[in-house]
């Protein structure tokens, strides 16, 4: 006689949740990858055309402080008062 597990046993619930999380993350990963590649392709096409529909600030990235750097600067200003 084989060992049968109850339908709501902790083992089955853990396996169910694990498979649900893995499936959801895999779907999210591939959808994000596809959307990003489409977006980059669109931006490249617009950048190569004569009259791009994309604003200039989107095409040229300016590097500013990261959120952590700006938070750190704000904390320094607060502490130096």
The total of structural domains in the chain comes to 1
pLDDT value at 28 more than 90: yes
Does 3 reside within a domain?
Answer: no
Does 1 reside within a domain?
Answer: no
Distance, in Å, from the CA atom of 61 to the CA atom of 43, rounded to the nearest integer, reads: 13
- pLDDT confidence band for 72 (50 / 70 / 90): confident
65 neighbors 74 (Cβ within 8 angstroms): no
Torsion of CA 60, 66, 70, 76, to 10 degrees: -140
CA 24 to mean position of chain CA atoms: 13
Predicted confidence (pLDDT) per residue in 46-59, tens digit:
777 766 566 666 66
The domain in which residue 29 lies consists of: 10-79
């Amino acid at each position: 006689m084989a060992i049968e597990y109850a339908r709501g046993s902790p083992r089955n619930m853990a396996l169910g949740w694990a498979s649900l999380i893995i499936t959801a993350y895999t779907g999210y990963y591939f959808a994000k990858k596809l959307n990003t590649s489409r977006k980059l392709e669109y931006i490249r096409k617009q950048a190569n055309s004569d009259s791009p529909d994309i604003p200039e600030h989107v095409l040229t990235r300016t590097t500013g402080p990261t959120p952590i750097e700006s938070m750190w600067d704000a904390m320094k200003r607060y502490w130096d008062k």
